[in-house]
Amino acid sequence: MAVSKARIKASRKYDAKNPQKTTYMTLRRHARNFIAAAEGTKAAEAIKWRDDSDYKADLLELKQLIENKLKEL
């Protein structure tokens, strides 16, 4: 389904007025997609491309970074 020009304009206007929120939400979405990629997505295909042990090591590293950050807060 095509997105209307008005919708694109409204989205860009919102992003321009709310840059911090837009950036935060994008970062959160990327992190979640790396951890729980939906089947059939580019993220899921890229994860399948990596060796399972490499992906697991990356997830464990993220887990440690999250635990460290939570201790700081």
| Per-residue confidence (pLDDT) for residue 1, from 0 to 100 | 75
Q: What is the pTM of this model?
A: 0.78
How do residues 9-67 score in pLDDT, each as one tens digit? Answer: 999 999 999 999 999 999 999 999 999 999 999 999 999 999 899 999 999 999 999 99
3-class secondary-structure state, position 14: helix
